[in-house]
Structure 1
Amino acid sequence: MQEERRVVFIGKIPSRMTRSELRHRFSVFGDIEECTLHFRSEGDNYGFVTYRYAEEAFAAIESGHKLRRPDEQPFDLCFGGRRQFCRRNYADLDSNREDFDPAPVKSKFDSLDFDTLLRQAQRSLRR
C-alpha cells in the first residue's frame, strides 16, 4: 500500500496536454513515481501524480496553481488516490457503467412501519 498523501489529483487539465507534459510540469515539486492522465468526453479531464514523498505532494497542492499557463483554467488540486486506502471493496460510483446495480441495503427498520418507528424514537428520548 502506498504511503498516504503522496497522490495528487489534478483537475481541469486542458485537452491538449500530454502525460509527459503533466509529469514535466509537476516534477518541479519532486520525484514523480507515477503519472496518469484521464480524458472524458464532457471535457472534465483529470490526472493523478504520485510523488516519492508526502512533502512533495503537499508542495504541489500548495503551489501547483502557479504552473498554469495564461490561456488555461486554474487546476483543481487535492489529495487523490483514495481507492487504495479503502479497507474493503471499492465501488466506482462515478463510472458510466450502466450495468452496475448495487445490492439494496437492508436495515433492521425496513419491516417496521412509521408509527412503530415513531414510538421507538419517543421511548428512547424519555430514557
Structure 2
Amino acid sequence: MTVHKFAIADAVFERSPGQEGEIYTGNLLDQRHGGPVTIGFGRYGPNQVLQETIPVHDTMIVLEGRITVSDAHGSQTAGPGEIIAMQTGDKVTIRSHETGAMTAYVTFPHWQQPEPTSSSST
C-alpha cells in the first residue's frame, strides 16, 4: 500500500460537472490510482446553491466557511472541523454562505467516471 499526503495546493480545481455556478472540485485520488474511493477538495464561492441527487456515498469535511445541506427531512449546517455525510440517492440542496467554503471529500465508489481512452487501429 502506498501512503499519500495531499494539500489544497495540490488540487487542480475544475467546475463541478453540470454546474454553472462557482462550485469547483479537485480530485486528488480516484479510480486512476486503483483505490476504492475518491478523495479531493471542493471550493464553493459565496452563496452558491447546488441541487443534486447524490450518486455515491459522499462524506464532506468543512475546512473553511459554512455549508448547509437540506433534504426532505431537514437541514444540517456545518462549519470548520465538522462533517456532513450523504448517502447514495439522497436528494439534497447544498448551500454555501456569504464567505463561501472549502471542503475535503471522500466518496465511495468513485463519483466521476474515467474519461474514455481512444484506441487507434492500424
**Length-normalised TM-score, structure 1:** 0.28
Greater share of residues in helix:
1
Greater share of residues in strand:
2
**Length-normalised TM-score, structure 2:** 0.29
